[in-house]
Chain A
Amino acid sequence: MDLVCPAGNYPSLKAAVNQGANAVYIGFKDDTNARHFAGLNFNDKKIDQALDYAKSKGVKIFIAINTYSQSQGWPRWKQAIDRAAQLEVDAVIAADIAVLDYAVSTYPELNLHLSVQGSATNYEALRFYQQRFNIRRAVLPRVLSLAQVQALAKNSPVDLEVFAFGSLCIMAEGRCHLSSYVTGESPNMCGVCSPAKAVNWEQRGDVLESRLNGVLIDRYQKDVNASYPTLCKGRFRVNGEVVHALEEPTSLNTIGLIPELSKIGIKAVKIEGRQRSPAYVQQVTQVWRQALDHYARAGDKFAAKKEWTDVLAKVSEGAQTTLGAYLRPWQ
């Protein structure tokens, strides 16, 4: 299985390449990608540098152009595809029908991957994107159990890539409007979820409050680790009890599933986190490279090492990890 790693800037890209990523995915510096954060992503000069570096080390570059264009903004998405084609990147990761259609009809040689934002969770949906846009690979939303991934892989017309590690979306990606409901900005429209500009931290006596566009997401007592206020990880009152009604702050970690995912025929595992630091990319890529190499040698004797899970836990949200939807009881 290939290891696909995130990079939000050039130092992260170098770290991913140096630690053994097979491919690195990046985005342009605008809202054409789903990590449209201030200070993140690649301008023209940096992208040339990134491509040169990756190519010199035999590592592939994928460009995410995976948000949905609104009619008024179309020239930005068109330019992004034009630019990616000129750069001869190894793949473009896209979701919007308009973007996929433009890409395949203008640049038939451009290698297209369906983004997780395309929200394809079954083989009939994958057949649609394969037949209409000749996609070669699809990234699966984090909603399927391991058995469902296995069944899908058997019938899939294209290669599959799954999320292996990082922040956990618990909703079907591409079909979640929670962020725009509270902040006006969403992954599909703006390339952001729970955007930083909507976040507010307030200390009230001993209690720290996190808010998103004025809506209280959580309250933390002294000495409790506070998490970034993402809506699906907030604490809400439901049936009289204050609980993490949707999900706790936690990260996805599937390192123990490497043998299963490999046997199913998954083509690539993806690390989430273009918004994270170069140190994160360096550590996570290193651990996953070691784990995949270990599996290649050990086969069925593979077992996740404690030193790996320790490193991954340290860089995880809420310092805890889960198998998420892969594991049926989680659902």
Chain B
Amino acid sequence: MAVRKMKLSLGPLQYLWSRQDTFDFYDLMTSLPVDIIYLGETVCSKRRNLKTGDWLDLARHLTEQGKQVVLSTLTLIEAESELKTMRRLCSQDDFLVEANDMAAVQLLSERGVPFVAGPFINIYNARSLAFLSRLGLRRWVMPVELSRASLKGIFDAPEAKTLEQSLETEIFSYGRLPLAFSARCFTARAHKLSKDNCEFVCGDYPQGLQLDSQEEQTVFTINGIQTQSGDVYNLLPEVADMKKLSVDILRLSPQREGMRDVIHHFRDAIEGRHIAALSSDAYCNGYWHDEAGIFEIKPL
């Protein structure tokens, strides 16, 4: 694959933040060195602090500020109303769309427009990648449970030679990993509420609600119907290696705290400048090293 300049992306906001906090956050992003920004609600269709029109307005604003904007669709689509929102995103022509469900792949490929496959479009091998690239796939985010070795296997497979040179590979590199989606809202359950009467309690947890084992090990984070990794996934020490592997884009997933530093650290790593370690929080990176995702494999 051709050598291209590695880019930084800001993944879709996974949490429910207030309207003002959301706008403030993206306002801050205009001044920071991220190249691509993914916008939209990917977790729960009940969240409406920003409506589809608001996201589109924000998309136009960020584009004017020089960012490439991609609209992300909902991951678990069950209801007609959710299909309707997804159709609206997939039928506009101003922005690229990240499909997070095969429904969006269907609509975008039927329209014959280029699209991005999010981390829950199950691309585990080069054949699937080649198949979707024939349908218009222009960029894919590797499923988070796959490793460096899986990625290498995909790039080395014979089918990889049939891929368009322009196809971009994006790796989830920082943030709490999206691990699962359910019909049930776990944040509501923790408050003894049902999903239909959730009172939007997930809004009280701007970085999710921590779920520990009975011996105080952080295991997961719950975020509405989504389950995330307990610790933040962090591939900062792997940036140089990812460059060698021809990874095109590093995805940073919005966290409430410290994104400015995170973005600068990753930018420095891409530019080959001296990189300081991130804060001393616990991180995980096992997936990249072909181990259980929860582990943190320290460099030798």
A residues with a Cβ closer than 8 A to B are 68-72, 74, 95-98, 101-102, 118-122, 124-125, 127-129, 131, 142-145, 148, 151, 170-172, 174-178, 180-184, 186, 188-189, 213, 215-219, 234-239, 242-243, 245-247, 324-325, 328-331
Contact = CB atoms under 8 A, between A and B. Distances in A.
A70 B150 contact: yes
Contacts of B106: 124-125, 127-128, 131
Nearest to A170: B182
Interface size class of B (residues with CB under 8 A): 35 or more
B209 A239 contact: yes
A216 B217 contact: yes
Given A216-B214, A328-B196, A96 B124 contact: yes
Contact of A216 (B150, B179, B213): B213
A218 B80 CA distance: 39
Interface in B132-147: 132, 143-146
Contact of B125 (A70, A172, A177): A70
9 contacts: A96-B122, A121-B77, A124-B102, A172-B180, A172-B182, A181-B177, A237-B214, A238-B212, A325-B184
Contacts of A184: 286, 290-293
B78 A148 contact: yes
B292 A188 contact: no
Contact of A186 (B145, B157, B196): B145
B171 interface: no
A4 to B, nearest CB: 22
A237 B220 CA distance: 10
B145 A181 contact: yes
Nearest to A328: B196
Interface of B: 75-80, 82-83, 86, 101-107, 109, 120, 122-128, 131-132, 143-146, 150, 153-154, 156-157, 177, 179-186, 189-190, 194-196, 209-217, 219-220, 222, 227, 229, 286-287, 290-294
- Smallest CB-CB A-B distances: 5 pairs: A98-B127, A124-B103, A68-B124, A71-B153, A128-B106
B145 A122 contact: no
Given A70-B124, A175-B180, A236-B212, A331 B185 contact: yes
Given A144-B78, A181-B287, A189-B146, 14 more contacts: A69-B124, A70-B124, A98-B128, A122-B82, A128-B109, A172-B182, A177-B145, A182-B219, A184-B290, A189-B145, A215-B217, A238-B211, A239-B209, A328-B194
Nearest to A121: B78
Contacts of A330: 183-184
B292 A180 contact: yes
A104 to B, nearest CB: 11
B179 A237 contact: no
Contacts of A247: 184
